[in-house]
Amino acid sequence: MNIFSAIIAFENIHEVRRLCHWGPIIALTVIAVCSSMAILDSIIWYWPLDTTGGSVNFIMLINWTVLILYNYFNAMFVGPGYIPLGWKPENQQDTMYLQFCRVCQGYKAPRSHHCRKCNRCVMKMDHHCPWINNCCGHFNHAYFTSFLLLAPLGCIHAAFIFVMTMYTQLYDRISFGWSSVRIDMSAARRVHNPIMPFSLAAFAATLFALGLALGTTIAVGMLFFIQMKVIVRNKTSIEAWIEEKAKDRIQYYQTGEEFIFPYDLGSCWENVKQVFTWSGSPEGDGIEWPVNEKCHQHTLTIEQLKQKADKRERSVQYRVVEDYNGACCPLRKGLNTFIRSPCTEEPRIKLFKGETILATRGTKWWMYGDKVLDEEQTKAGVRVRGWFPRRCVEKCHYDSANNSTVSEEKKDK
């Protein structure tokens, strides 16, 4: 990593506006509080100019702060990389394998997704992170993950300093009785002459910073393990979800296809090398990707198109034309409905004439779907979903579909 050439990538200097958001404000405040308190406490506990240990402690502390801020600002300002507006694949024929983004007026390159917060299609999008007020994606993946590793390490060092400072400062000021603890903050320091007095306020501030540091260590440390899993498998959180849906789809249709996730290069080391490089920027241009030998550039995008078509296909609006009482084997709905009742524990739903159902699957005699509820119920999170006899409903025509289908379509773009 060439630290000096890229403290901040200047071509992205307009990105400074990303700082004006609660995420970066809180994150930078936590970094500022923890590192300044750690520096102040180090001066009190382990004066850096007298001993080698003191110097090493102090230099390490400054190092953490610099490295954390370096990776944090790069994650934010270098950004994930966006697909150019109006992007088209070089080969015109490839457009049939890609989704079109109506906002960016271009095709979505493999592994890219449209982020509503960034309002752009993001290269190898993993998620939109509020703490850097930007997406985590192709170009900032290494910076982002390094930050997630360095922040807990720095916090552990700081926490150690806070504990040692409080311990040494309180050691000769605290006295335990049978039923009381007495702290005399005015007592003289035991070790050397104080450079700075360690007052009650300093004690409170140190305790507060210790809480912040421990909290950050746990929360950010967990995020680090999640991101390492993403890198080692070369599979973003979004792609893991697509893969799961692919398995569901194949199982549902019993097509006998085998879905192989194309970007896992087979070894953890190969996958890690795609993200972490000596130059600091990841392998590839964020549009074309190395793939598993059994796959091709569009394996995943074709699967996404299938899933999208499947979702559209599998949810069709039906209008209820006959009441149904919710019985498992209804007597008055014909012999076939009675005999062919689906053998599952899934619920049956009552139907009333005039209601609308969004059906996702079905057999010849039965259907499964969601009742379309009024706005109030939808807001309250009510969901009525289950089986009902096919003969009680009638397919709605497209133009008679109500607003909810239209808004679903909009969300999908």
Taking the C-alpha atoms of residue 77 and residue 69, their distance in angstroms, rounded to an integer, is: 12
When the beta carbons of 118 and 210 are compared against Zn ion, the nearer one is 118
What distance, in Å, lies between the first and last C-alpha atoms of the chain? 38
What DSSP character marks residue 341?
-
Beta pairing class for 356-362 and 316-320: antiparallel
Number of Cβ atoms within 10 Å of the Cβ of 357: 25
Name the residue among 114, 80, 126 with its Cα closest to residue 228. 126
Shortest Å distance, C-beta 134 to Zn ion: 6
Shortest Å distance, C-beta 383 to Zn ion: 29
CB 21 within 8 A of CB 129: no
Q: Which residues contact 234 (CB under 8 A, 6 or more apart)?
A: 263, 264, 265, 271, 274
Helix/strand/coil for 13: helix
Beta pairing class for 106-107 and 356-362: unpaired
When the beta carbons of 114 and 235 are compared against Zn ion, the nearer one is 114
Helix/strand/coil for 351: strand
When the beta carbons of 140 and 297 are compared against Zn ion, the nearer one is 140
When the beta carbons of 118 and 148 are compared against Zn ion, the nearer one is 118
Q: Which residues contact 222 (CB under 8 A, 6 or more apart)?
A: none
What residues does 82 pair with on adjacent strands?
122
Taking the C-alpha atoms of residue 74 and residue 204, their distance in angstroms, rounded to an integer, is: 33
When the beta carbons of 137 and 330 are compared against Zn ion, the nearer one is 137
CB 351 within 8 A of CB 324: yes
When the beta carbons of 86 and 326 are compared against Zn ion, the nearer one is 86
Question: Both tokens of residue 407?
Answer: 């808004």
Taking the C-alpha atoms of residue 366 and residue 265, their distance in angstroms, rounded to an integer, is: 44
Shortest Å distance, C-beta 242 to Zn ion: 17
Provide the annotated active-site residues: 129
Shortest Å distance, C-beta 68 to Zn ion: 22
Q: Residues interacting with Zn ion, by CB under 5 A?
A: 101, 103-104, 114-115, 117-118, 121, 128, 135
Shortest Å distance, C-beta 132 to Zn ion: 10
Shortest Å distance, C-beta 228 to Zn ion: 21
